[in-house]
Structure 1
Amino acid sequence: MAVSLLILTDFFQAANRALDYATNLALPLRARLVLLHVRRDSVLDPEMFTGRLSNLSQQAINLALNHVAQDFPVPVVAEIGHGQVSFAVADAVSRHHPALIVLGRPDESSVPDELVQTTSLDILRTSPYPMLVVPHTVVRGTLPRRVLLAVDGEAFSLGEHAGTVRQLFTALGAELTVLYVAPAGPNAEAEAAAALVTVQQTGLTVGLPAAQVRAVASDHPAEGILKTAKAADFDMVMVIARPRSFLGKLFHRSVTAQVLLHSTLPVLVVPATE
């Protein structure tokens, strides 16, 4: 089966930036794009009343999808889903088995984190799957090869997703830097080296250049990750989402959520199996 990337599109700027980014990724992967537009036409959808949803007619959506799908350098399939985005995505995932779900992160800088109900968080709860979240400020450029992989030092397994992520990194010729953030202490370097070993044990580094490791002292892991994940040094940041965090009611306080909401780099979120 050909590799697919599932792209959510609402035809706004953030989605268009994510589509450009995914198209760039699809070339070395020799992947096809599956464009999914979800008509959030349920009266129970909380954003029906915020003015943030596309109110295009079915005919206009068809025309827009057909226009977007033209003149792509990779094969494209376009689909329309209905209802809540997370359930429409779960249905598309079950049929297309994409390597990644890709979506744009709009500008929500004026909204408190506690009030942000982002699509990415909803999808993680409903159908945990490797997901690439592209900030609205990111423009299509060179392929992302410098990847910052943030880990907490605990052992983890990615299950079936390990092969998918390794395939992506291999196609990109990625250079991994493992980031370990912890309060300052005499054992920080040893703990960072141990964190690198946990990553190597997942199989992610097989066939890649030797991974580097970096230790950062901070009492707040998300803050340490965000300060390190700068465009001058890295192209993408990867975080491991543990079920105990993204299934919790206070997920917006988790490290994964904070990085998703505030990173200036694209964020690859891969759910761990526990």
Structure 2
Amino acid sequence: MNQAILMLTNLSAAAERAAQMAAVLGLPLQLRLVLLHLYHDPLLDPELVVITTAGAYRTQAETNASLQAMAQRLALPTEVTTSADTLREAVQAALQHYHPLLLGMGLSQEHDLLDRLLHNQMLPVLRATGYPLLLVPERGPVPQVPRRVALAVDAESFSPNRASQALAPLLASWQAAYTVVHVAAPKEQEAFAGQRALTNVRQSKLLPAATRLELYQEREVRPAAGVLQALEDTQADLLLLVARPRSFMGRFFHHSVTMEVLRHCRIPVLLLPAHAPAVPGWMPAMS
């Protein structure tokens, strides 16, 4: 059976757009989709209100019928599963059952909901699972197979975890043009830091060795601003962000480069968890 992409979903247009994007990304490898819907009454479980819908009071049969109709509109074979468990329990059970390549979900434009969902709900799941996470903005371009992909990294080496390494065939299947985006840290003195960033990407083995990599560098700007400017200048239609362990430390996430990029990015973002390098005293330039 083909590998799967597990999408957290509801009955909103934003969730369907996210599922459409996941289907497009998985199309070259003929992956399959699994739509995971959490069936909760927000009055009884207020912490999950952000992933329920205005139709929270529909019967479960009506909800399932609507989800099945959504599945029929997607470009890949799609299975629907619902759960009345907590987010953590539902995702863990789905991971054990489907063993997906990655997780995914849509992003609301409302910052409060974005903060609440990522910080209070998805981050504990990501810390526990270490799976890559696809985040699709509520309003963005029409879903299509990526043709221009930006990979934002700093000058520090990184080692993708096992789940991120497993995405290598998928990244290669898009046959996209890849640009390595390096934004120099304010006190970065190292010569040829951009070339080191290129070398680190090649050594990560996320992409085939023959992949041509362009380099985009920014200096004297904040890292998030530099990444967002790179996306505009390169006309990227997908952003890959290496998520170091510090990115998943709850109280720092709100002030991290990752969070600031997510607030303003208009294209899908794929977070790729990485191990921390075994270097005494190491502190990441981007998180």
TM-score normalised by L of structure 2: 0.84
Quick check: 1:259 aligned with 2:257? Answer: no
Distance 1:230 1:167 in 2: 27
Q: Find the partner of 1:202 among 201, 204, 210.
A: 204
Structure 2 CA distance for aligned equivalents of residues 77 and 151 of structure 1: 35
Cα distance in 2 between the residues matched to 1:49 and 1:204? 33
| Alpha-carbon distance between aligned partners in 1 of 2:157 and 2:40, rounded to the nearest angstrom | 39
Residue 21, structure 1, aligned to residue 5, structure 2? no
Q: Distance in 2 between matches of 1:188 and 1:54?
A: 55
- Give the superposition deviation at 1:41: 4.2
**Structure-2 change in CA distance of 1:262 and 1:139 (3 Å):** same
Partner of 1:250, secondary structure, is: helix
Letter in 1 for 2:47: P
- AA at the equivalent of 1:235: D
2:281 aligned residue: none
Q: Distance in 2 between matches of 1:247 and 1:260?
A: 16
For 1:117, the aligned partner's letter is L
> For residues 262 and 186 of structure 1, do their structure 2 counterparts lie closer, same or farther at Cα, with a shift above 3 Å needed?
closer
Residues 162-206 of structure 1, C-alpha deviations (whole Å, 9 max, x = no match): 433211121101221111112468957600101111111111232
Measured in 2, the distance between the counterparts of 1:122 and 1:179 equals: 28
Partners of 2:86 and 2:47 in 1: CA distance: 10
In structure 1, the residue matched to 2:279 is: none
In the alignment, structure 2 segments of 5+ residues that lack a partner are 277-287
* Structure-1-length-normalised TM-score: 0.87
- Per-residue deviation, 1:257: 1.7
Identity rate, percent: 33
Correspondence 1:185-196 to 2 at 5 A: 190-196=192-198
Give the corresponding residue for 2:9: 9
SS at 2:81 equivalent: strand
1:92 Cα offset (Å): 1.0
The residue matched to 1:133 in structure 2 has which SS? strand
Counterpart for residue 101 of structure 1: 103
**Partners in 2 of 1:121 and 1:264 — Cα distance?**
21
Q: CA deviation at 1:141?
A: 4.0
- 1:226 aligns with one of 222, 225, 228: 228
C-alpha distance in 2 between matches for 1:104 and 1:135 = 6
Q: Please identify, of 71-80 and 40-49, the stretch whose mean Cα deviation from structure 2 is larger.
A: 40-49
* Conserved 8 A contact 1:162-1:203: no
Unpaired runs of 5+ residues, structure 1, are none
